[in-house]
Structure 1
């Protein structure tokens, strides 16, 4: 029972920060219509978020390994709750942009905290990391289910998210275990060849995961004019949730590296099949393989670094690899300005880079 509580707590705080960043992929459509935004302005919101996320991830990881997760989560949940509330109170493109930028510096503490808790308390690591990272697919699934409501009630969504993060703050106040590393941190282990190559693979994966999440719905609605785009996005979301089965079970059978390579290859295949054939149900498989590589890669990084360095290694991985998340939304936005299909080619580039580098690990 205690392990269930530990995992549920870790999952929820990861889910909330992922829900915030993933929401823009859906909310950007009604906001773009309301404020007459260009594709570059749409992409700039998530890019600004990842500026803060990239800069602050390594400091947060080091802080968590040294001082534990409690203070990191308290600071992150309280401040991000206030920043997100601003969008509800003062809805404008400038406030949205500012809120996402500042929140990037703050919410980057939550995922390393969750990884720290899971790596210290739960085993096997690949299974629980896979389950932890299922929070992202479930966030996108929820957004797919409520996408119709978000057209008119996106401000209410941000209010509820703010209240949820504030609730995390009060729950965390009662936390007794700080999960401080028992061993002295050796930061040189974070810069081995295996870890750096794995982080480079993760960079391309971030480009794929968050580029797809940010742009799939706008692609379907604004540029490729798919019929039933909300349904297709929902099917994609169900595929994301199903990716949990692949990422939490398959590594035990064939190993993390092979799962990563197979997933990247199939992602590229289904990306082009979807937009060339316009067969909507293919988005289910696109969803599976746009995320099934994530937790196997993170498991490799944590294994290479050791559990005592789990937060630091994930913090460093976020700092470097989230550059892919930072550049993807606006890069794809520029590409779409030239040609929607060029946007698809740009999106697939991250997967091809990661696939090539994975053979060097």
Structure 2
């Protein structure tokens, strides 16, 4: 029998567990399916995989070039200065990958007087193998900047906050909906008649989430909502209002646009959404407008990643590095810079949002907010 586009034969231990759950309790939302596939305590993708890098399933900006982490480090140090140099300040990264971004950021800010002495480093990571990689990447900064690890942002101690989230929100579960003549209906994951095939289908009736979706959308339109994204943004915003600080969110996304963006990637190639849960990365475009609204405090952007990095001085940093590089290294730097900032690569697909308290000046990297010269990368 030929497999339909929205069907996939059950594969793997986690696939069988999900199929058994559906058989016992009925269809589940795509958000529930994604949560199981990515974060199941034993079999979830982000619990056991090493997904980042050429040998994994995707490559993030920090893995492209040290310049990305250096620019982020300069931005974070600028925010610390703007906040009045609080000590301690909780420097937090959500989903730090292999620790590359944080290592580059800390190396680039060694020359900012008092910054490292003020930093209390916290990493939010659920993957034990990645925690080991992060510890190795940050070993040169220990013991003074030895990180503390947490499974949730809510476990980070109180205090002024500087938070980095690079390609984190895109991995949080989303619900999907389709507009029918009766209204918005949710796409669910169920079982085909054979009991051995996962399939996508619309739930009967109008979804209770319809009030959060456009009432004037045409029949056939699709939309996504992420309750975990909104909840985390709200928690970050509440923390910023209470303790002060800033958050920098970098991801690919949109501002409330309709459409279906949930995708599966395995070994840098597209895969079926329902195929081999726990072995495949699932991600969706981030609704930046929803994040800013949920945070409930002042925000800047989103702006394209290319424009953000150029405003922070990445082109000048590239020239500095090239001045002492071999011809081959100069070519590699040019290629990395293009990948990070060009509009046909990561420059406009990835976007940057800053969320902060009301007690410090506007952040650099956004219109009319230059970088503080005291935080220039060495």
TM-score bracket, normalised by the shorter chain, equals: under 0.3
Question: Larger radius of gyration, structure 1 or 2?
Answer: 2
TM-score normalised by length of structure 1: 0.23
TM-score normalised by length of structure 2: 0.22
**Whose strand fraction is larger, Structure 1's or Structure 2's?**
2
Q: Relative CO higher for 1 or 2, CA cutoff 8 Å, sep ≥ 6? A: 1
**Whose helix fraction is larger, Structure 1's or Structure 2's?**
1
